[in-house]
A = this chain, B = another copy of it.
Amino acid sequence: MGEQITIRDIAKKCGVGVSTVSRAINNHPDINEETRQLILDTIEKYGYVPNNSARNLKRTESQTIAVLVKGINNPFFADMIRIIEKKIVRAGYSFILQQVEEREDEIETAVMLEKEKRLKGVIFLGGIYTHPEQDFNKLTVPFVVSTVDVTIPESMKNGAAVSIDDMTESKKMTDYLLSRGYRRIALLTAPVDDESIGKCRLAGYLSALRGAGIDPEAGLIRHMPADAQTYSVEVGYRMTRELISSGVFFDCVYAISDTMAVGACRALYEAGIKVPADCGVAGFDGIDIGKYYCPSITTVAQPRSEMSECTVDLLLDQLQGEDARGRNRKTIFPARQIPRESTL
């Protein structure tokens, strides 16, 4: 469409040089107040907007931190983002939020963004499953991987990680369910080939059962189909229906996400199975909906605020810290067991 108006056009219209316009735009002090006003008015009048590509290109550095989030529909991250943003801004940096598609490579995206926006640092929220160590090396700015239990290799000087111990917390949840008398606990978990939290939470479940002298049973461990790849309410619902119609006896459903637990509750309700009277239900993560569902759903909550704070702290340490304080740190937070109405 119409030709784009540039800084030169504005300069010409005002009868000044481009650098004067630039000074006006960027609030430089050394500029006459009148010319400044004239320029600003002209800019307003013609609707001129500086071209960001040119700015980014020229700027040798910015004060920007990017947060890359995988999955747009994950309520788990929503308020973490708020907290992270606030803290980043308070520290004097500006903040960019970038969605990463499910099948997209987040490190790739980060590397592009680093160059494009001259980033100072990167925060990964979710995603980052199995990345070969060398991939991280492409990133030359400091980064923190948050809510994913990755191991940052020794050699990596500019990375850190924040998460809970998924395996241990899942074991605790299973122990809790066992302590409430449940013996045949069905597990709703990730696809078989999962290498991330699904794998860890499954391991915790198995470990707890074995610790209690119970043999894990294949029929009780329900993996979602590989193509689902998403911890949605609907997937939990479907898996539970299949579980029910499989005829396997179970007295509790433990889903590795609260969203799936919601789906499970609905499926049980429709089958006339009362929660918690006939069957217990437990979730994982501690998102809001579990609190408002009827019955409210027992869960293990990740300390999102603390984790968010820590994530930014680790990044700032690396950015501002004198030496290796923030180097290669991996911070594990304890999660919080929250018994609710869905279990006895």
Beyond A52-B115, A78-B72, A115-B49, is A294–B294 a contact (Cβ under 8 Å)? yes
Given A293-B294, A294-B294, 14 additional A-B pairs, CB 8 A: A1-B141, A4-B115, A47-B137, A49-B112, A49-B138, A53-B54, A72-B77, A75-B75, A97-B99, A233-B288, A233-B289, A265-B292, A266-B293, A266-B296
- Give the distance in Å from the alpha carbon of A54 to the alpha carbon of B57 in the complex: 6
The A interface is mostly helix, strand or loop, or mixed, namely helix
- Give the distance in Å from the alpha carbon of A137 to the alpha carbon of B46 in the complex: 11
A158: Cβ under 8 A from any B Cβ: yes
Minimum CB distance partner of A78 in chain B? B73
Q: List 30 A-B contacts (CB under 8 A).
A: A2-B140, A4-B140, A47-B111, A49-B111, A49-B112, A49-B115, A50-B115, A51-B115, A52-B112, A52-B115, A53-B53, A53-B54, A53-B56, A53-B116, A53-B117, A72-B77, A72-B97, A73-B75, A233-B289, A233-B292, A234-B288, A234-B292, A237-B292, A262-B289, A263-B292, A265-B294, A266-B292, A266-B293, A269-B294, A294-B294
A40: Cβ under 8 A from any B Cβ: no
Size of the A side of the interface (Cβ < 8 Å), in residues, is 46
User: What is the copy number of this chain in the assembly?
Assistant: 2
Minimum CB distance partner of A134 in chain B? B47
A81: Cβ under 8 A from any B Cβ: yes
- Give residues 254-285 of A contacting B (CB, 8 Å): 262-263, 265-266, 269
Q: Annotate A160-179 by CB proximity to B: 1 below 8 A, 0 otherwise.
A: 00000000000000000000
